[in-house]
Chain A
Amino acid sequence: MVDGGPGIRFYRIMAQSLKSAVGRIRIRIIAAIGLVAAIVLTWWMKVEDARIPDAPPPIAFGEPVSVGRSVFIPENLALANDEKGERKLVLTGLIENVTGSTQVAVFGFPEMLPVLSSGDTEFPAPQVNLVRDDDFLKQLEPRIREAIAIIWDVPPDWQAQDVSIAFSAQQFKLNDNLYSKSSWLQFHPTGRLTARPEQGA
């Protein structure tokens, strides 16, 4: 027996406190890993939800495509001459307002009309006509499906070939991040129609 040095009781207490210290550190490390995992998982889920599909899905005539505040069903694409003899590409279809109030900005605000591309030619912005009145589409009422015609001016150097029309929809958020008011945010592509225009009257 050595006198004056630490006894066995001291070493036993030390060993116990060391075990509980390691246990405490282990518990804390596990808790930290769990917390970080929860945060990363939540972020990942939010990013996945907000992700926009890369390529817009292809649509055919007769299939509905969302354009944000309304749903458009393209029916026919024709190359026609207007009264002055100029060539126009006319896409006719049915459109229905799916919001709860009368919409003046049928294709979103600021407006994003369907974009026509064909070969290398640049097409100007189209005009949207209400077939019933043969005049501009001024507004669309909910639950009333109207026939519309989307008319593009054709540049003189364009030959009859396949065209592709891209539709975009504006994202609606009931409570946005700034004022918690309902607002229409950014556009994302919702469909692409590829067709060859028929020769019309």
Chain B
Amino acid sequence: MISVGNIAVVLLGAAALGGMMNTVPDYNSSFQPFSIFADQDGIGKGRQFTAELTGLKSAKVISYAQFGQEVSRDSSATFLIAELSITGQTESRQLEAIWLGATGRQYSQSARLEDAPRNLSSARFEPGLTDRTIAVFEMPEDEIVGGRLVLAPRASMVMDGAVYFAEAEAAPANHEMLRLEP
């Protein structure tokens, strides 16, 4: 006759195993960068950079001058411009920015404005130097309020930390036409 104690141990083991199997994080949720949250002044200290979000703007049309030619980009939705002030810490680094929209969708920087002046995608940050830069996104208007900006090193985001800024609480200042100056 099997004792009640032995049966209880087996059931306990099966329950523990089942619990562990059901709660093990899968590949998709394990391979995420470390989260570093910015403080209330809007300054986030990553491992290789310190970043401050100085402002958010939205615009319907963005224009800038490139090689002496005027470039103008419009959108059926809206452009969101995040102004950042970034200081390098330990090593020269390029960064990338993602907007986590209010609906949970992730918006990467707009490739249509890659060569805009002071764009984050062409900037590199050196230790000890503070540079001002902008990150431009294109998204529907309702993704802005309730969304947040994430800044991470380019191309090694998963193995490093990502700085999460505070959620946008109010709609940013809207411009019909925004001109970007170098």
Contact = CB atoms under 8 A, between A and B. Distances in A.
Answer yes or no: A and B touching, Cβ < 8 Å: yes
Contacts of B114: 138
A153 interface: no
A101 B106 contact: yes
B76 interface: yes
A184 to B, nearest CB: 13
Contacts of B27: 175, 179-182
Q: How large is the interface on B (under 10, 10 to 19, 20 to 34, 35 or more residues)?
A: 20 to 34
B26 interface: yes
A141 B107 contact: yes
B104 A100 contact: yes
B149 to A, nearest CB: 14
Contact of A144 (B26, B74, B104, B140): B140
Contacts of B110: 139, 141
Contacts of A102: 106-108
A133 B112 contact: yes
A174 B27 CA distance: 10
Contact of B112 (A138, A142, A181): A138
A175 B105 contact: no
A122 B132 CA distance: 51
Given A100-B106, A141-B138, A142-B107, A133 B28 contact: no
B139 A181 contact: no
21 contacts: A100-B105, A100-B106, A101-B106, A102-B107, A102-B108, A132-B74, A132-B75, A133-B112, A138-B112, A139-B108, A139-B110, A139-B111, A141-B110, A141-B139, A143-B105, A143-B139, A144-B139, A144-B140, A145-B76, A174-B28, A179-B27
Given A139-B108, A141-B107, A181-B26, 12 more contacts: A101-B105, A101-B107, A138-B111, A141-B110, A141-B139, A142-B107, A143-B103, A143-B139, A144-B76, A175-B28, A181-B31, A182-B28
